[in-house]
Structure 1
Amino acid sequence: MSQLLKKFKNDIFGVLWLALAVFIALSLFSFHPEDPSFNSIGADFQKVHNFCGYFGSFLADILFQSVGICSWLLVVALGHKAFTIFSGKTREKPMAEHVISVLFVLSYASLIALYTESSKIYQDQIYWSGVLGNIITQSLIRVFNPAGVAVILWTSTIVFTLLQFQKPLSFFYKHPQRLWLSIYHDLRDKFTIWWKARKLMQVVSKKRSAQPASHTVRAQDPIAISENKSLFADNQSSESTVEEESYLPPIAQDMQPLKKRKVVMKKKVSRNVENWELPNIKMLEDPPDTAVKVDPAEIKRKTALLEDKLKQFSVNGKVVGVLPGPAVTLFEYKPNVDVKISKITDLADDLSLALSSESVRIIAPIPGRDVVGIETSNTKRETVFLKEIVADEEFWSEEKALPLALGKQANGEPQIVDLRKMPHLMVAGSTGSGKSVFVVSCLTGLLFKHSPKTLRLIVVDPKQVDLAAFHKVPHLLMPPICEARKAVVALKWSVKEMEKRYRSMSRFGARNLEEYNDKIKKLTSEELEEHQQINDDLIEANKQHETYHFQQLPYIVVVIEEFADLMTVDKGNVESLVVRLAQMARASGMHLILAMQSPRKDVVTGLIKTNIPGRISFKVASKMDSRIILDEGGAERLLARGDMLYLAPGVVKPQRHHGPWLSEKEINDIMNFWSAQSEPDYEADALKMMEGSGGSMMSLDPSDMSGDDVDPESDDRYQEILTWIATQKGVSASLLQRRFRLGYPRAARMIEVFEAEGVVGPPNGSKPREVLINKAPNP
């Protein structure tokens, strides 16, 4: 019973405080001067007006007589205490909290007494400030006079208000200001839209009365990425280079971006998660009011130019659909049956020249369609703001545990993917392409949904610039890594943690991290103590590699910026560790995000490419780079500043998206919000491993994937190898490698250790080293 009470202690106290606040509020609300009390005479069994009966009548009278209308502040204080307990933010000294609450009420009562003097309410029976407020104020006036008392009371009131609610002074004027601005902007935007719609309807009515009615034609086959959106044709005559019989393609008039309004959450979510508070999307900037409009005349002009230019190269066909997007416009071109697709793909540069377009990309053909896609850049591009993506209902769906805000699709719809299902992501993009901003926006989006209890980050940032804002967030599992040597240690620790998680899931019969956490929630305190004892016994028996977790585990996202630089420094170690994680880490809740500027062959190796199916490419330098990252060309023709191609796992053709923009101010506001709640709580084992890595890269041999101590003498085969060496006349690293099936780095490390211990001699050119002992020492 005591264990049960201890487990729900905070919840019980919270409910009691809230009930007391409600009881007092009802008593005060239904107070009547004629009810029985210490200050009124009435029959013992007369009718009581108070909702809470005789007790409520006496309680309300005592409070009103003592502190007047400030009795309601007592209700506020009790309610605040209850919700503080519910949120898990209890204070260490509850007695001090009670004293602060009393002083909080008395300070307001005294301040009211200063300005109401002897005024009374409730049939002139109760002072506005109560008896206590009057006594305190009158006593102070005798000493300090009214002016001095005003300074004292205003100061004390502000101080005790801050102490009571534990909020900065800015909180009390910024929140009302934001509320007023939110209401004002909402009303203004709605009025503006209504006014412009009214004007537009008047213009349309005039045009319709002056022109003959026209009919619309539905697009034959809407593009796959624009489901439920019909494309319409405008068959009115227009001045163009096309003959009157020419077919004008259906244009997606209904996709013209409307005037932007204030972005609000489309789904109500709780921002208080145990002891943490999640950021509010109000920290993100709203899109500008001005919207990029699609000009139908411009679309028709480009359609005519496109068809004419293709005819000049003996490519006959027609444009059957147009889909304007935030950054590019997609033309659906249906060639005649005798036209080879390869003939169209070779004309990208000629079409770019004819359309005066910054870039033209050809999709030949569009998957599942009998048309070729021709993407051209828009004259004016729309900036995608992260707030639009985070506010979308899909971002907060329970099915997307680790949502990544990719941006907007070609049809303007938000695109959100789940890193958990991906399960790893590789991002490439040259300088100025928007790669770094995209990585930052993805991580920022994750911080909107996850507290440090459910998500931990490992950040490898060699340049110390792109991810510098994340260096102080409490989600960090280990200090930010800026050196290649420490990055290898971090990857080795990640492999060790992955294996420990698999041991834990196997122990509890779980197939993935979600099932494991569900089973851990159901463990009793006795079972937890039993698992703790088992782990303690394993540690005492020097079997750390057999220990396992028995607490709930968070997702771990390993983010590596400038992955190419890391591979250049230590390719062998990095590749083997990354491949190991990519192959096995998914079910354990560990995921990789690798970012690089140049996706060269020696960086994106076959093993890495095979095990990381999720890939994104921004604008790259060459067609070869595009083929390496996406298995096809096209990324070299992308626009700068956020234009990208996303190749989803299991999808043949990459899809075009426009990544979100995030300003420095937004990033700093969100990171400061998190860092203000707590400092990073680094993993003890990770810190120990980082500190014990020393300065030698040889100690980071990934062939020992169990992640044991990096000291070579602790190698489980050390004694076996030493015994064998004692029987030999000469030994070399390659000999150890063949004899014991070791990796070369591990074998070379063992040779160096034996040389330091006097077991073998110094290097002897190409000959084996001389063995200096004839009997292995006792272990």
Structure 2
Amino acid sequence: MAAFFKKYKQDVKTILFIGLGLFLTLALFSYNPKDPSFNSIGNKLVPQNYCGWIGSFLSDLIFQAFGISSWLLAVAFIKLGISSFRGEEAKTSKISFLWLGLLIINFSALVAFYYPDKKMFSGQIYYSGLLGLSLAQVLLKVLNFAGLQIFLWCSAFILFIFYSEKSLEQIFYPFKKTLGKMNEGFKESWVALFAEDKKSTKTAEPIEKKPTEKLNIKLTEKPEEKFGFLDKIFSRTSREKEFKPEERASVNLSEAQQLKISPLFEDKSEGDGVVENEKNDLESLDKDDDSSNFNDKVPKRKVIVKAKLPKKIEKWDMPKLSLLDDPPATRVKIEEKEIRRKAEILTDKLKHFSVEGVIVDAKPGPLVTMFEFKPNADVKLSKITELQDDLALALSSESLRVIAPIPGRDVVGIETSNSKRETVYYKDLLAEEAFWSDDFKLPIALGRQVNGEPKIVDLRKMPHLLVAGTTGSGKSVLITSIIAGLLFKHSPKTLRLILVDPKQVDLAAYSKVPHLIMPPVTDPKKAVLSLKWAIREMEKRYKSMSKFGARGLESFNEIVSKFKAEELAEHEKINQEYEAQGIMKLEQYYYTPQPYVVIVVEEFGDLMAVDKQNVEQGVVRLAQMARACGMHLILAMQSPRKEVVTGLIKTNIPGRVGLKVASKMDSRIILDEGGAERLLPNGDMLFLAPGISKPMRHHGPFLSEKEINGLAAHWAIQAEPEFDALAMKALEGFSEGGADGSSGEVGSSDDEYDEMYDQILSWTAEQKEVSASLLQRRFRLGYPRAARIIEIFEKEGVVGPANGSKPRSVLVNSLDHN
């Protein structure tokens, strides 16, 4: 019987609340002072009240106590019935009745303050009611008139917030819309007035353009969200109102035309050239805009560049969020009745298997809802995890996952898929203030968490990322969205990219952006060479940081940006001397600010299949050392086999994302535990952050092909990619003596560069004879590597031909080498 009443409890409450509200409304509406009541015998045997004797006595009692505030009580009961019908359990609780009662008494006191002597119904009932009048009289003695008014209004708002469970922003939103329309008229009038004034003074003297004129940014199409001062009043927590990411939309590089700097990557094969005050051909860029996000102060000098620059960009026009599609006005809403129904099914099913406990909370998200189940003390957690398939069957759920327990909590998480899915839109995530914060240098908008909260992480702090997911899991969309976020945040001045795309389609849209160091690499064999180039770039950066006493890229950039003209000239001269002496790889260094470098590899498994040893060595070395010098890896793959994700790679890349994978074994390889095999397709993922033992579930954003192409076109029209000449030669198989731009050392395009080549060559030039075995012992090399270097020496004429088992004669000396 108890179960029967519990099943229909909510429906009964709904009917009772609405019925009581209607009863009170009729009783109050038909109230007659002449009817019999507690204060009057009445002169009629039958009361005129529509609700009879009970209505007559009840309406008189309520009117005497609350006055005109009695109508609030009737309306409140009807509202409670509606809330109960909607399944809003919190609004029909005992605490909700307490707030309602206090709110009505407070309102009665307010009426008593403004109308203390006013009466109704032929002077028999006070407007405020006896309760309100008595309360106002008591408080008046303590607070006086001004204090009482402030106290009553403040308490009224507080009680209304507690009762309605709405914020001030939600309460005042209707007023905001009205004020917004009024403000629009005022704004148009002021704009017209200033335009007239500007026109009248134009002939007298030129008017300097203000940076703010360019930043008239509109993130949404809603007219009520266009006005800054209203947004600050009503939208303390709004993502797209008070905070405008487009205010970062321009980077002023006007000082660069007067500075003597070395470009990021120099082509030593090109002749030296001087570029002075070259005019920017992009008419869309504002030359006078002083709104810069990068305020590096460097003394004025001429630009001396040694790389062939296709176009000199004084200011990069940063992309705006208007390039992205607006989310739809109507969103998918999870019905609370459905959540309650699933909670009851879970509880009953667990109880059926002798797992006693209660569901203490439910957190609906875009794709799944997580129920927090608190088991009794005698329940083993392993028993709950064994019931995953049974629970999924009971709920008819496409995906169900058990987290036993939730880290740091005494509850078990049960995630089940929603019947209606909500798309996570990329524009929503980029409108978050955290994305544009200076604390997130390389932000990644992963998506939304199970509870619907956005998730923004910093690649710089991870500092590398592994991504795995089968076909249809959303892996490619996630990778393209990560790159898109970086392009929204950074110009080519502060970020450079290396894209490895063996499939030739996933990252093709970004092939023309000016951030690229080299064209997108589609040949797995050339991808190995790009990794080796990255290692040499890393080594040069570390040497540069060591020279100036910097421990990271940020501190290095801060130090070198403060150099005076004389210091820049001195460093330039030193590097030119090193170049002339042919020892660039060992000694040259950077002395100007350097950008972040992000290496994105799609289909990492293809690279490992082609050259596992060299690829693994390159990736591990970058993962171990590249963080401090601002270089980061993102490796994506379809199948995280143990042959691909080796132990060394896993150890050095703690940041991992597992989308839907084929098997539990694949999930364990990428995340160190199962669960990814139970995910939903199209962006459902588990993210394992560094230092976290349990992966957390997130729902990735959707980024359409139109949005990607629009963003790529925005950058492509400003400048063509300026590929690094040394990186290009590295892709062709040449060794250029390192990322610093030294001249080539290997004569054959088929020979791969050996990082110890210069050191071994210098030592060999001082010897009379040399052999592979001697190099092996002297430099602790493997025999194949030593033999390969000897063969290269022979091709270059450094050593003579083989003479049986005897050592080879050295044909050069140290003077010839220099």
Q: How does 1:392-403 map to 2 (within 5 A)?
A: 392-403=432-443
Aligned to 1:749: 788
Q: 1:775 to 1:419 in 2, by over 3 A?
A: closer
Matched, 1:450 2:490: yes
For residues 114-149 of structure 1, the C-alpha deviation after alignment (integer angstroms, 9 at most, x for no partner) is xxxxxxxxxxxxxxxxxxxxxxxxxxxxxxxxxxxx
Alpha-carbon deviation of 1:746?
2.2
Aligned residue among 801, 804, 810 for 1:770: 804
C-alpha contact (below 8 Å) 2:736/2:744 kept by paired residues: no
Shift of 1:760: 6.1
Partner of 2:367: 327
Distance 1:701 1:365, change over 3 A: farther
- Paired residue for 2:634? 593
Amino acid paired to 1:746: R
- Residue 10 of structure 1 corresponds to none
Alpha-carbon separation, structure 2, partners of 1:184 and 1:460: 44
Quote how far apart the aligned CAs of 1:421 are: 1.0
Deviation at 1:750?
2.8
Query: Could you say which residue in structure 2 is the equivalent of 1:541?
Result: 581
Question: Is contact 1:271-1:278 (8 Å) kept?
Answer: yes
Q: For residue 785 of structure 2, what is the amino acid of its counterpart?
A: R
Shift of 1:374: 0.8
Deviation, 1:520, is: 1.5
On the 8 A contact 1:726/1:771 being kept in 2, the answer is no
What is the Cα deviation at residue 315 of structure 1? 2.1
Q: Deviations over 1:567-611 (max 9, x none)?
A: 111111111111111111111111111111111111111111111
Q: CA deviation at 1:722?
A: 9.6
Residues 264-286 of structure 1 show CA distances to partners (whole Å, capped at 9, x for unaligned) of 57345331111111111011111
Match of 1:637 in 2: 678
Q: Return closer, same or farther for 1:686/1:774 CA change in 2, 3 Å cut-off.
A: closer
Q: CA deviation at 1:483?
A: 1.1
Residue aligned with 2:759, SS: coil
2:377 aligned partner, one-letter code: V
Does the CA-based 8 Å contact 1:453-1:554 persist in structure 2?
yes
- Name 2:248's counterpart in structure 1: 270
Question: Structure 1 counterpart of 2:786, which letter?
Answer: A
Q: Deviations over 1:641-678 (max 9, x none)?
A: 01001101000101100001001111111110111111
Distance change in 2, residues 1:411/1:431 (3 Å): same
2:319 is equivalent to residue 279 of structure 1: yes
Residue in 1 that maps onto 2:423: 383
2:811 counterpart letter in structure 1 = P
* Deviation (angstroms), 1:297: 1.7
Match of 1:411 in 2: 451
Tell me the equivalent position of 2:50. Answer: none
Partner of residue 554 from structure 2, selected from 499, 508, 514: 514
Aligned to 2:158: none
Contact 2:492/2:514 (8 A) holds in 1: yes
Q: Secondary structure at the match of 2:788?
A: helix
Q: Secondary structure at the match of 1:574?
A: helix
TM-aligned CA deviation for residue 549 of structure 1: 0.5
Query: Amino acid of the residue matched to residue 771 of structure 1?
Result: S
Quickly say closer, same or farther: Cα 1:707–1:632, change in 2 above 3 A. Answer: farther
The answer to whether residue 684 in structure 2 is matched with residue 684 in structure 1 is no
Aligned partner of 2:143 in structure 1 is none
- The 1-side partners of 2:637 and 2:722 are apart by 28
Alignment partner, residue 616 of structure 2: 575
* Whole-angstrom distance in 2 between the partners of 1:398 and 1:573: 36
The yes-or-no answer on 1:182 pairing with 2:221 is yes
Give 1:352 deviation, angstroms. Answer: 1.0
What is the 5 A alignment of 1:706-721? 709-710=745-746, 715-718=758-761
What displacement does 1:179 show? 7.4
Is the alpha carbon distance of 1:315 and 1:683 closer, same or farther for their aligned partners in structure 2, counting shifts above 3 Å?
A: same
Q: Secondary structure at the match of 1:599?
A: coil
The verdict on how the C-alpha distance between 1:314 and 1:707 changes in structure 2, with shifts beyond 3 A counting, is farther
Retained in 2: the 8 A contact 1:490–1:686? yes
TM-score (norm 1): 0.63
3-state SS, counterpart of residue 717 of structure 1: helix
- Shift of the alpha carbon at 1:73? 5.9
Deviations 1:318-371 (A, max 9, x none): 222111111101011122222221121122111111110001111011011111
Equivalent residues of 1:489, 1:700 under 8 A apart: no
Q: CA deviation at 1:485?
A: 2.2
1:716 match: secondary structure: helix
Matches of residues 166-205 of structure 1 in structure 2 within 5 Å? Answer: 182=221, 184=223
Instruction: Report what 2:694 is aligned to.
Output: 653
Note if contact 2:764-2:810 (Cα within 8 Å) is conserved in structure 1: no
Q: Shift of the alpha carbon at 1:317?
A: 2.0
* Equivalent AA in structure 2 for residue 307 of structure 1: T
Can you list the C-alpha shifts for 1:422-470, whole angstroms capped at 9, x where unaligned?
1111111111101110111111011111111011111111111111111
Contact kept? 1:510, 1:516, Cα under 8 Å: yes
Q: 5 Å matches for 1:93-242? A: 182=221, 184=223
- TM-fit CA distance, 1:27: 14
Paired residues of 1:573 and 1:701 also in contact (CA < 8 A) = no
Pick one of 484, 492, 517 that aligns with 2:532: 492
What do the CA deviations read for 1:470-521 (whole angstroms, capped 9, x no partner)? 1000111122111122212211111111111111111212111111111122
Q: Distance in 1 between matches of 2:450 and 2:220?
A: 33
Deviation at 1:289, TM superposition (A): 1.7
1:464 matched to 2:441? The reply is: no
Query: For residue 58 of structure 1, what is the aligned residue in structure 2?
Result: none
Count of residue pairs brought into register by the alignment: 537
The 1:715–1:383 alpha-carbon spacing in structure 2 relative to 1, beyond 3 Å, is same
Residue identity in the other structure for 2:482: C
Matching residue of 1:423: 463
Three-state SS of the structure 2 residue aligned to 1:677 is coil
1:63 corresponding residue in structure 2? none
Q: Percent identity?
A: 57
2: distance between equivalents of 1:701 and 1:552?
22
Structure 1 gap ranges (5+): 1-24, 31-68, 88-174, 188-260, 762-768
Are residues 755 and 512 of structure 1, via their aligned partners in 2, closer, same or farther at CA, if it must alter by over 3 Å?
closer
Match of 1:476 among 508, 516, 536: 516
Are residues 707 and 510 of structure 1, via their aligned partners in 2, closer, same or farther at CA, if it must alter by over 3 Å?
farther
Does the 8 Å contact 1:386/1:662 carry over to 2? yes
For 2:700 and 2:462, how far apart are their aligned partners in 1? 18
Tell me the secondary structure at the aligned position of residue 717 of structure 2.
helix
Q: Secondary structure at the match of 1:452?
A: coil
Partner of 1:764: none
How far apart are the structure 2 equivalents of 1:518 and 1:524? 13
Separation in 2, partners of 1:661, 1:391: 15
**Could you tell me how far apart the structure 1 residues matched to 2:432 and 2:510 are?**
24
Residue identity matched to 2:759: D
Q: Quick one: structure 1 residues 293 and 635, their matched pair in 2 at CA, closer, same or farther if it must change by over 3 Å?
A: same
CA distance in 1 between counterparts of 2:547 and 2:765 reads 35
1: CA distance, partners of 2:376 / 2:205: 76
Relative to structure 1, is the Cα distance of residues 720 and 481 closer, same or farther in structure 2, using a 3 angstrom cutoff?
same
Cα displacement string for residues 354-410 of structure 1 (whole angstroms, at most 9, x for unaligned residues): 110001111011011111111000001110011001111111111111111011111
The structure-2 alpha-carbon separation of the partners of 1:444 and 1:744, relative to structure 1 and needing over 3 Å to count, comes to farther
Q: Does the C-alpha gap of structure 1 residues 391 and 736 become closer, same or farther in structure 2, counting only changes over 3 Å?
A: same
Give how far 1:185 is off: 8.1
Q: d(CA) in 2 for partners of 1:595 and 1:443?
A: 13
- The reply to whether residue 305 of structure 1 matches residue 355 of structure 2 is no
2:713 aligns with 672
2:658 is aligned, of 610, 617, 621, to 617
